[in-house]
Chains A and B, each alone.
Chain A
Amino acid sequence: MINKKFQVKSKHGLHLRPATELIKITSQFDGEITINKNGIEVNGKSILGILSLGIEKNNWIIIKIEGEEEESFIKILGDFFGREE
């Protein structure tokens, strides 16, 4: 299991489009992913869950990931959150 903290860089935070993009990634993952913001944790494969966190630009989130390909996925996620677009 990996726990990692990220700062979300994208312009409007995790609004609909980036959240949809994020789901496209997380749904590929065979295992569990959660996203935690300010102590509220949601299923990382649930778009509604992610939207409900209201993640804005520069917010910090903690990703918890557990599964066979966790290493490679945490890298992909890191790239994703670091993107500024």
Chain B
Amino acid sequence: MDIDKLLKSQPFEKGVTISGGISFGKAYILFKNDQIKYAKKISYEEIEGEIGRFYKALENAKKRVKEMKKNLNARVSLEILTIFDAQYAILSDPLFIGEIVDNIKAKNVNAEYSTKTVANNWKIKLQKLNDPYFKERTNDINELAIILIEELSLLGMKKLCLLEPAIIVAEFITLSELVSLEKDKILGFVTSHGGYTSHLAIVARALNIPALSMINNIHNDISHGDDIIIDGLRNILIVKPKKEVKEFYIKEKHNHEEKRMALNEYNKLPPVSNDGVSINFEANLEIIEELPLVEKYNASGIGLFRTEFLIDYTSNLPGEKKQTEYYSQILNYNKELPVTMRTFDIGGDKMIQQMEFYKEENPFLGWRAIRFQMDNINLLKTQLRAFFISNSSGNLKILFPMISQMNEIKRLKETINEVKQELENEGVKINAYKIGIMVEIPSAAIISDLFAKEVDFISIGTNDLTQYTLAVDRGNEKVQGLFNSMAPSVLRLIKIVNDNANMANIPVAVCGEMSGKPLEFIALLIVGIRQFSLVPWKIPIMKKIISTLNIKEIGKYWNEVKFLESHEEVREFLIEKFQDTFKLVKSFTDNYIL
């Protein structure tokens, strides 16, 4: 059955796919006050901490009630002020507190849920009384429960416990929420906010979980437990699909799974081409929870760790201790493998609180990444210190983003020396490390021969390089059609960088999305790139592709590609010259990868 025909009689919502694929399952609505609605199991070891968290929230809630009373004092009647006293009395009520604590202990559930349960029980008790006056008091208890739960949520959340796999539906999803979710039970994400470069999008793509954003009125259209389908190919969300529609997608999903099985086979392949050339595949990671993927997909290292995710994770700028704790886990995960730590890439679309007061006309051309960090030198030094302290096995590679001028790398190297000196004075041993830059701004690509003399390695960020070369904001739907990394200008720039790095005898890798898209990947091989860093689950696909290619002679195509005039021409050229590979790729991947 033709799906387009089916969709004529099936209502659906249009959205924007931020992580491809097809998914169907039950909707799990993640309200911002979700903590109340669903119990989250805590382990025996966590009980004490959870009770501590509750007492702290209780104190904060009391303070808040006192403050509210104080602020209103002169303006309202005694009657109303009494309500605050009563609320305060409830927050101090030994029975109320005792019951909540007992509930946490006895049922092993989070404090929010326990608060809600106990408050509900009291509401019911009071509602049973005859006097209408007492019945009204149930509202006071409700209000208090909300205050308490708000205070609890300010103290950080407990893990959300999904009882069965589901598609998460929410206005937006913060990184801390994302981290707290059990990834293996998430079938997909549906949100109203969060674009292609949002944290959600990056993590969803990394974990290969379909995600659809920009869906309006999610709360009106979707209820908890509804059957929903995410169709990332057509950018649509289907709520309560009709039987035929569901059947269509079940088939689609089945095909998808078969392809996935084939990929598992390819995971065992060596990263070697048909003519025996080894290609280097490393992993792009953003959160600690992804570390096991390095081994699962046989990556030869971490080619890009996006440290700025740590900021969102802790919702402020973490100090040296916190950072050291975090980086140590990454650098020590597998001491044999190189780990490329990119300094905070904040600004642009990734803001932190400290920057919020400063709104820019053109954030992507503004105070971002290394520019921001060099103006906040202590911030940079703290991060570098944490890198060096965590580098106990000498597998650290430091990567600086958004470099555009030579004096930047010179200053950064000076800063590194200062930090090293400081640490050595404190008795910290400095182990082996390497310094590299991201080439993602055309100016840096053009003079990459000069940079190559200053650094140990170069990493090409193709998303930004494309955006800056073509002057196209990919987030702007009016021009996003112009965004294409196979534009001849972009390929030529990458070629320049690759040649310059080879000339200086330093390694060069591509860590942008191009590495994970079959045709673009082949284009990069033609340009001369032999080292890639990409979302781990795509490594098997790329290994299968190279197993069909003769890499030694692939460079010869450059003589033709370099004279092509558009990305469409490049695409056609590649499809024609690599027909067999392309057909093979189509047989085991979904269209969205191409």
Name A's B-contacting residues (CB within 8 A): 12-13, 15-17, 19-20, 23-24, 27, 42-43, 45-49, 51-52, 54, 56
Assembly CA distance A31 to B80 (angstroms): 31
Instruction: Please judge, given known A-B contacts A19-B86, A20-B85, A48-B122, whether A43 and B140 are in contact too, CB under 8 Å.
Output: no
Instruction: Please judge, given known A-B contacts A46-B93, A46-B95, whether A54 and B134 are in contact too, CB under 8 Å.
Output: yes
What residues on B are CB-neighbors of A51 within 8 Å?
Answer: 126, 134, 137
Assembly CA distance A43 to B97 (angstroms): 13
What residues on B are CB-neighbors of A45 within 8 Å?
Answer: 93-94
Assembly CA distance A48 to B86 (angstroms): 10
What residues on B are CB-neighbors of A48 within 8 Å?
Answer: 90, 93, 95-96, 122, 125-126, 141
B94 touches A16 (CB 8 A): no
> Counting CB contacts under 8 A, is B82 at the interface?
yes
A81 to chain B, nearest CB (A): 18
Interface positions of B from 69 to 98, Cβ below 8 Å from A: 79, 82-83, 85-86, 89-90, 92-96
B16 to chain A, nearest CB (A): 49
A78 to chain B, nearest CB (A): 21
Assembly CA distance A54 to B90 (angstroms): 16
A-B contacts, 26 of them at CB < 8 A, read: A16-B83, A16-B137, A16-B140, A17-B79, A17-B82, A20-B85, A20-B86, A20-B89, A23-B89, A23-B92, A24-B85, A27-B92, A43-B94, A46-B93, A46-B94, A47-B93, A48-B90, A48-B95, A48-B122, A48-B141, A51-B126, A52-B125, A52-B129, A54-B129, A54-B130, A56-B131
**Additional 11 contacts, C-beta under 8 A, given A16-B82, A52-B126:** A15-B133, A15-B134, A16-B133, A20-B89, A24-B85, A27-B92, A43-B94, A46-B93, A48-B96, A48-B125, A48-B141
Interface of B is mostly: helix
What residues on A are CB-neighbors of B130 within 8 Å?
Answer: 54
What residues on A are CB-neighbors of B129 within 8 Å?
Answer: 52, 54
3 nearest CB pairs, A to B: A46-B95, A54-B129, A47-B89
Assembly CA distance A17 to B140 (angstroms): 13
A7 to chain B, nearest CB (A): 17
B550 to chain A, nearest CB (A): 79
What residues on B are CB-neighbors of A47 within 8 Å?
Answer: 86, 89-90, 93
Interface residues on B, range: 20 to 34
Task: Out of B86, B95, B140, name the residue touching A49 (CB < 8 Å).
Answer: B95
Assembly CA distance A47 to B93 (angstroms): 6
What residues on B are CB-neighbors of A27 within 8 Å?
Answer: 92
B252 to chain A, nearest CB (A): 55
- Nearest CB to that of A54 among chain B residues? B129
B131 touches A13 (CB 8 A): yes
Assembly CA distance A53 to B95 (angstroms): 14
- Nearest CB to that of A12 among chain B residues? B133
What residues on A are CB-neighbors of B83 within 8 Å?
Answer: 16
Task: Out of B86, B92, B122, name the residue touching A16 (CB < 8 Å).
Answer: B86
Instruction: Please judge, given known A-B contacts A23-B89, A43-B94, whether A52 and B82 are in contact too, CB under 8 Å.
Output: no
- Nearest CB to that of A27 among chain B residues? B92
A79 to chain B, nearest CB (A): 19
- Nearest CB to that of B129 among chain A residues? A54
Instruction: Please judge, given known A-B contacts A16-B86, A17-B79, whether A43 and B131 are in contact too, CB under 8 Å.
Output: no
Instruction: Please judge, given known A-B contacts A16-B82, A19-B86, whether A43 and B133 are in contact too, CB under 8 Å.
Output: no
B86 to chain A, nearest CB (A): 4
What residues on B are CB-neighbors of A19 within 8 Å?
Answer: 86, 89
- Nearest CB to that of A52 among chain B residues? B125
What residues on B are CB-neighbors of A15 within 8 Å?
Answer: 131, 133-134, 137
- Nearest CB to that of B88 among chain A residues? A20
Assembly CA distance A45 to B89 (angstroms): 9
What residues on A are CB-neighbors of B133 within 8 Å?
Answer: 12, 15-16
What residues on A are CB-neighbors of B131 within 8 Å?
Answer: 13, 15, 54, 56
What residues on A are CB-neighbors of B94 within 8 Å?
Answer: 43, 45-46
What residues on A are CB-neighbors of B92 within 8 Å?
Answer: 23, 27
B77 to chain A, nearest CB (A): 12
Assembly CA distance A29 to B426 (angstroms): 56
What residues on B are CB-neighbors of A13 within 8 Å?
Answer: 131
Assembly CA distance A81 to B195 (angstroms): 63
Instruction: Please judge, given known A-B contacts A16-B137, A48-B122, whether A43 and B82 are in contact too, CB under 8 Å.
Output: no
Assembly CA distance A27 to B91 (angstroms): 13
What residues on B are CB-neighbors of A56 within 8 Å?
Answer: 131
A49 to chain B, nearest CB (A): 5
What residues on B are CB-neighbors of A20 within 8 Å?
Answer: 82, 85-86, 89
